[in-house]
Every structure is written in structure tokens, then in C-alpha cells.
Amino acid sequence: MSFEVEVRRTLGDRMIEACFAAPSGLTVLRGVSGAGKTSVLNMVAGLLTPDQGRIIVNGQTLFDGAAGTNLPPHRRRLGYVFQDARLFPHMRVRGNLLYGYRLAPVDDRWMTLDEVVAFLGIAPLLDRWPRSLSGGEAQRVALGRALLSGARALLMDEPLASIDPARRSGIIEAILRIRNELSLPMLYVTHDPAEAEQLATQLVTIGG
């Protein structure tokens, strides 16, 4: 699995540019505030369309401006974990986990609910509402939902930023297990050098 990203996009008075190849592992996108790290992540996800360039994941072209290729987000098989978890408030944890699973084509499903629950240690959370979860618990559920969506890679936008420092170690451990045991490639945005040092197998500077 690999990412090949070469994109340009004008946002207001800024030009967002990125050009990198990322092999399997966890690739941290770093750069100063406003450099466009999250915008690059959104372009890979299909939430923001580049003005030009190409995005290829594991040999499949997701976007090619010259060829007119632009797969919609739901066909890219990329799990996105946001800073604030973004769980559905009207669904209990079990429903949130199963949401992506039910939408994913059968052939794309590679983990079951029971496997994800055991892997992330979230069995005690299944019947709880998102509003009752701590930040760390909510991010574990968000990770589980992404895995159950049949994702072949994860995009993570500062997933530890809103979590109490005392609870971060548990999420870091989960991310490292996903990287090392599931061998799921990740593009990861963080402003924290120590976090990048601990997690990254590759560093890519955006806007530098």
C-alpha cells in the first residue's frame, strides 16, 4: 500500500501544494499553522478538489486533473478520523460502529464488529451514548468506525488535540497497534513534534 500525492489548490489568497510518496506505515504531515496540512488530507479524502494534480492510493487513481478522474469520497475506501471524533449523537456506540460497516460493500469488509471491539478494548462502551464518552473513549470509537468501514488506509487530522494529556497514551497505543499489527497505512496531521516522533515512520513537510 502506498500514497502518491501531487496536488495544488488555491484557497483564498493561499496556494496549497504537496508532492510526496508515502509507503506503508504512518506518514506525518507537518508544517506551520496555515500551511495546508488538513487541506491536503481533505484532498486525499475527496472532500476538497485540487485545482490540478494526481492522487493515487495502492495503484488506484483517485484523482487526476488532466484525465478528469475524481472518485467520490465513498468510493475511495479511506477512513477519516477527525479531531473531534464526530460521532452521531443519536446513535449509541454500537450504532456508530456499525454505520460504516453496513454501508461498505461486503467484499470490502475485512474486520467484524467483534474483532474491532476486542482490538480496541471498547466492549464496555457499546451501549453508551456519545455524549457520555470521554474524549479518549470517543476517539477509540471513531477509530473503530473507520476500521469497520472497510478502509484500506486511514486519514487522521490531529486526533489527540482535544484529548486530555492523561488519556493520550491509550489512543497512541491504539494507533501504534493499527500501524504495527494491522499494517494499515496512515496519513496523520499533528502540530506536536513529540507526537510525530513517537508515531511517524515518515515525515512530510507541507508548505516548507
How do residues 16-58 score in pLDDT, each as one tens digit? 999 999 888 999 998 888 889 999 999 999 999 999 999 999 8
CATH classification at residue 107:
3.40.50.300
Domain tally for the chain?
A: 1
Residue 1: band (very low, low, confident or very high) from pLDDT cuts 50, 70, 90: low
Q: Are residues 136 and 170 in contact, defined by beta-carbon separation less than 8 angstroms?
A: yes
CA distance to 25, 33, 101, 125, 134, per residue, from 122 (Å) = 24, 33, 17, 5, 12
Containing structural domain, residue 125: 3-205
Least confident of 56-60, 100-104, 145-149, 189-193: 100-104
> How many Å apart are CA 190 and CA 177, to the nearest integer?
18
Q: Which residues sit opposite 55 in a β-bridge?
A: 5, 63
Residue 27: exposed, middle, or buried by beta-carbon count in 10 A (0-12, 13-18, 19+)?
buried
Q: Are residues 28 and 199 in contact, defined by beta-carbon separation less than 8 angstroms?
A: yes
Mean pLDDT of 120-142: 93
Cα angle for residues 141, 148, 191 (degrees, 5° grid)? 55
